[in-house]
């Protein structure tokens, strides 16, 4: 006859299995919690609590417009040139390019009510202007800015990534195999101990996190002289995390992070906010 303790343990395990089964069928974290905004979403999990959790994490990483303090004041005519990326990290370089950063700069400076002459409108002049500022050649810059719409351009702005590296990471986890062996050793080999050992041996958990630090410098230069008018540096960090667990055949996992290009865009926003507040 199994002991009273064995029956109690088996009842507890049965309850756990039943709870996991109900969750998988639609009532728990795997499938329940219907929400109204599922129209047009072909995902088979649309409307579930799992879908809501994932969407909440995605919303936290989506574009967040900010209000600029001098947004009502019209800013001068400017051109945003592609800056430099001084990081050699391949993961960052695969996600972000200097043209991406310049596009973010054009977008945010336009929202801050600066008159931005888009790079696409410059045509072959863009390379000439870029070369003039890379070389710090005021004569070449003056020749370029004496043409057409460029005559009234006041500033040239560049955003440079000076730092983009993962600086810290860590992980932790639990493997129930050792606990299962201890239960078998000290449980006397009864059915209760065997059931407990099976349950313990099925437990696996793992967590991992990585933190990036990205630093962005902005430079404002006089359109005709190529002289630097102002500069600033802003740094921020991003955490990427994931976790996973399983017990008695039921598993759960989650991961999330602010993408590298999204963090760069937020750094550009902070830079433009400073430009708007100090130099407009």
Whole-number mean pLDDT of the chain?
81
Q: Using only the alpha carbons of the chain, give its radius of gyration.
A: 29
Question: Residue 165 pLDDT more than 50?
Answer: yes
Alpha helices, DSSP H, located in the chain:
4-22, 49-60, 90-95, 98-111, 125-135, 138-145, 177-186, 191-201, 260-279
Average pLDDT over residues 218-236: 93
Question: Residue 273 pLDDT more than 60?
Answer: yes
Give the integer Cα–Cα distance in Å for 84 and 271: 16
161 pLDDT tier (thresholds 50, 70, 90)? very high
Average pLDDT over residues 167-176: 83
* pLDDT recorded at residue 242: 82
Percent of the chain with pLDDT over 90: 37
* pLDDT recorded at residue 24: 42
Q: Which secondary structure element, helix H or strand E, spans residue 43, and what is its range?
A: none
Average pLDDT over residues 151-175: 89
Give the integer Cα–Cα distance in Å for 20 and 26: 10
66-279 placed in CATH 3.40.50.1370 = no
Any residues with CB less than 8 A from the CB of 127 and at least 6 apart, and which?
Answer: none
Domain layout of the chain by residue ranges:
66-279
* pLDDT recorded at residue 46: 79
Q: 32-36, 93-97, 184-188, 228-232: which range is least confident on average?
A: 32-36
Q: 29-38, 48-57, 162-171, 233-242: which range is least confident on average?
A: 29-38
Question: Residue 42 pLDDT more than 50?
Answer: yes
Average pLDDT over residues 112-120: 92
Any residues with CB less than 8 A from the CB of 175 and at least 6 apart, and which?
Answer: 203, 204
Question: Residue 194 pLDDT more than 90?
Answer: no
CA-based nearest residue to 79, from 138, 135, 120: 120
* pLDDT recorded at residue 1: 42
More confident residue, 135 or 11: 135
CA-based nearest residue to 167, from 86, 100, 89, 234: 89
Question: Residue 209 pLDDT more than 60?
Answer: yes
Average pLDDT over residues 216-223: 95
Q: 40-49, 201-210, 239-248: which range is least confident on average?
A: 40-49
* pLDDT recorded at residue 241: 79
Task: Answer positive or negative: Cα dihedral of 277, 73, 69, 67.
Answer: negative
* pLDDT recorded at residue 204: 85
Residue with tokens 């009532």: 27
Average pLDDT over residues 207-225: 92
Give the integer Cα–Cα distance in Å for 11 and 3: 13
Tell me the CA end-to-end span of the chain in Å, nearest whole number. 85
Give the integer Cα–Cα distance in Å for 87 and 95: 12
* pLDDT recorded at residue 19: 47
Percent of the chain with pLDDT over 70: 80
Residue with tokens 């043209």: 99
Mean pLDDT is highest, among 4-8, 116-120, 232-236, 255-259, for 232-236
């Amino acid at each position: 006859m199994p002991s009273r303790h064995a029956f109690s343990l088996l009842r507890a395990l049965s309850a756990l299995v039943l709870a996991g089964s109900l969750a998988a069928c639609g009532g728990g974290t795997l499938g329940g919690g219907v929400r109204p905004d599922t129209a047009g979403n072909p995902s088979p999990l649309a409307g579930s609590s799992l879908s809501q959790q994932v969407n909440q994490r995605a919303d936290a990483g989506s574009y967040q417009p900010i209000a600029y303090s001098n947004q009502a004041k019209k800013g001068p005519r400017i051109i945003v040139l592609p800056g430099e990326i001084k990081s050699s990290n391949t993961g960052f370089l695969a996600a972000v390019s200097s043209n991406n950063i310049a596009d973010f700069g054009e977008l945010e400076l336009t929202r801050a009510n600066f008159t931005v002459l888009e790079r696409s409108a410059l045509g072959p002049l863009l390379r000439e202007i870029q070369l003039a500022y890379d070389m710090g050649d005021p004569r070449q810059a003056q020749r370029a800015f004496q043409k057409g719409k460029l005559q009234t351009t006041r500033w040239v702005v560049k955003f440079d990534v000076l730092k983009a590296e993962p600086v810290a990471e860590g992980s932790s986890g639990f493997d129930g195999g050792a606990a299962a062996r201890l239960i078998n050793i000290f449980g006397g080999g009864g059915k209760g101990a065997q059931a407990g050992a099976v349950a313990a041996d099925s437990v696996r958990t793992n967590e991992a996190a990585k933190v990036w630090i990205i630093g962005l410098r902005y430079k404002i230069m006089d359109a005709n002289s190529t002289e630097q008018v102002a500069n600033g540096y802003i740094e921020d960090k991003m955490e990427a995390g994931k976790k996973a667990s399983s017990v008695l055949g039921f598993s759960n996992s989650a991961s999330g992070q602010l993408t590298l290009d999204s963090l760069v865009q937020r750094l550009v926003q902070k830079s433009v906010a400073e430009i708007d507040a100090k130099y407009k």
